[in-house]
Structure 1
Amino acid sequence: MIGSPFPTHDTCDDNSRRCGHIISLFGRIALASLADYATFLAVIDEGSLTFAATRLGRSLQSVSRSLARLEDDLGVELVSRTTRRLHPTPAGLEFAGRIRLALTTIDAAREDLLASDRRLAGTIRIGTSSLFGPEFVTPVLSQFLARNPEIDLELVLSDERVDLVAEKLDFAVRIGNLPDSNLRTRRIGGLSWAVFASPAYLAAHGRPEHPQELSRHECVLRASDDDRWAFGGNKKRIEVHGRFRSESAAARNAAVASGFGIGLAPLWQVRRLIDQGIVEQILVGHEPPPIPLQIVWPTRGAGAMPRRVRAAIDFLVARLSALRI
């Protein structure tokens, strides 16, 4: 029978210090091996040692040594190196697919172990819009961080529907109807609309009492709008026109406040302007249906959602739904 490469209790003498040294050494080897595997996957995902080092928060030399150590240990070339980019070899690509689930399972086991004393640890990347995020998501996440001192958060602001997997986002808070996709969703609630105008505009042009009257008014429009606004539960579309257009919600709202015309925006965006008397809400009761507010995240295949991510989603849903925005 081939002997074990590692000592058993029979090979240890009564010197406990010697046995302790062997166990400690074995522990360091196992941890280093897991780090090498994780580094290899990062290199495969990023296609670059430099990008992998940035993702892992390590030096370029450290990542290069880790990859070389794994290849030496296996005796197989896992990555083909060129002057411009790295490409996985067929053996490397197959190996990456087989170990990815294993490392995900280990990470999930670590999360479950941390859950035993109710601690959450690790980094969470969250996406949201540039206006809604700072005003509503950031304060809630600040509370989450205060309760979980071992969590790190990165908030990515964008008004585009970015690819969550490509941007390495754990989840995103999104506003509006979502296109069909394989993303998982969890609804938070609905955001109310507001039709509004400045007191000066209303004094000069009159106050519309019905959405159909908007066709006779100057409206401030989104650049990509089709010049029709939907109103009421039946979403009846009213043709509107205007000389001021912008993709920026902040710019459109400022234009309405300056008297350029009538605007349509989520109520949360203009509530302060209404409260301060800078603009007035009109056509109350005729607003479009509420805008869906939801959290989306990518399907993780066989891997379970990390406990820290699940906890952050639960916290956001509970706090944001209670705000009645």
Structure 2
Amino acid sequence: MSRIEDLEAFLAIVEQGSLTAAAKRLGRPLQTISRSLAMLEADVGVELVHRTTRRSMPSEAGESFYLRIKPAVEEIHDAREEAAQRRSEPSGVLRLGAPNLFAPRFLIPVIAEYMAKYPEVEVDLDLSDAFVDLAASGLDLVLRIGDLQDSGLTGKRLGALRRVVFGSPAYFASFGRPSHPQELAAHRCVTRTGDERPGVWMFSIDGRARAVKVSGGFRTNSMNAIYAAVEQGLGLGFSPLWQIKHLIDADKVETVLEDFEPAPVPIHALWLEGRTPSAKIRRFLDLLGARLKLDRL
């Protein structure tokens, strides 16, 4: 009978497209992955994967075998997780995915608190602004900012992130503070050229979403450059609050037009549909949710 480790290796090879990538995903030596595949093929008596120097593709028999065993292996994983939940303390490896900018400022402090509280847990963090395929990546949990699409994932809404207009004290001293979005036409605004609608900022006016056209003498494709430009007094900026909170805390910028902020952007934690979150995932979500509420982002 094939070992579960051999079946896991086969699934990873098919999903990752190579033995090397499968070894990296599973955290096992390449030689171990190769040996697992060889033992599995010897056990079933047929070649499951066509190997080349650059790619590893399932054979016709391998494709059928993959479709049959994948649900079974997932059931075994779920059973293991359920058994592990009976332990008093979380343990094992927690594999997380998160956006690039959000993680260093807000996720790392939570991870540090989590690992101090549960020393038997190790954390692997993968940063990407793309929508990661959890099934292919091997991640336990991924954080996504924005409205969700039908992705076959189960999620928990952790909170919502504000979008604000902000400027430097020096700018406000020279040009005054706008009291209504319509007044932005008379202000210098720093805009992002990479936006879907460059120079258009969204607001909530009279209870409805309204687009307001803005302009200024400085434009850039970099949000970090926008923050620096606003801090230097080149104009007003528009950004998620969490991305400029460090500037606000340092009294380098101030927010305006708070009464007209657009609808906040939701942030969700997602995991594979049909799987029960393990104790290590639940405890992490509890800490992260509490942190987001405390920071009022």
TM-score (norm 2): 0.86
Q: 1:248 aligns with which of 208, 222, 229?
A: 222
Q: CA deviation at 1:274?
A: 2.9
Corresponding residue number in structure 1 for 2:29: 59
SS in 1 for 2:217: strand
> Which of 44, 49, 54 pairs up with 1:79?
49
Alignment match of 2:70 (pick from 100, 105, 109): 100
Q: Name the % identity.
A: 46
Measured in 2, the distance between the counterparts of 1:268 and 1:109 equals 38
The 5 A counterparts of 1:38-53 are 38-53=8-23
CA RMSD of aligned residues (A): 2.5
1:144 aligned partner:
114
In structure 2, distance between residues paired with 1:97 and 1:265: 45
Structure number with greater Rg is 1
Name the counterpart of 1:208. 178
Q: Deviations over 1:190-226 (max 9, x none)?
A: 2233322122222333322221010122111122332
Partner Cα separation in structure 1 for residue 13 and residue 133 of structure 2: 20
Aligned to 1:235, the other structure's residue is in SS state strand
Match of residue 232 from structure 2: 258
Structure 2 residue matching 1:218: 3-state secondary structure: coil
Partner of 2:253: 279
**Deviation string, structure 1 residues 13-72 (Cα, Å, up to 9, x no partner):** xxxxxxxxxxxxxxxxx7x72222222222222221222222222222222222112222
* Pairing 1:158–2:154 present: no
Distance 1:80 1:292 in 2: 44
* Number of equivalenced pairs: 293
SS in 1 for 2:260: coil
Stretch of structure 1 that moved more, 63-72 or 153-162: 153-162
1:288 and 1:318 map into 2 onto residues whose CA distance is 24
Residue 224 in structure 1 maps to residue 181 in structure 2: no
Instruction: Give secondary structure in 1 for the equivalent of 2:123.
Output: strand
Structure 1 runs not aligned, ≥5 long: 1-29
- Take 2:153 and 2:79, find their aligned partners in 1: how far apart are those partners? 24
**Counterparts in 2 of 1:158 and 1:223: CA distance versus 1, 3 Å:** farther
2:239 partner SS: strand
Is residue 2:293 matched to residue 1:321? yes
Give the 3 Å change call, closer, same or farther, for CA 221–160 of structure 1 in structure 2: farther
Distance 1:40 1:237 in 2: 51
Q: TM-score, normalised by structure 1?
A: 0.80
Aligned partners of 1:166 and 1:321: how far apart in 2? 32
C-alpha distance 209-319 of structure 1, shift in aligned 2 (>3 A): closer
Q: What's 2:269 paired with?
A: 295
In 2, distance between residues paired with 1:275 and 1:49? 48
Deviation of the 1:95 alpha carbon: 1.7
**1:179, CA displacement in angstroms?**
4.2
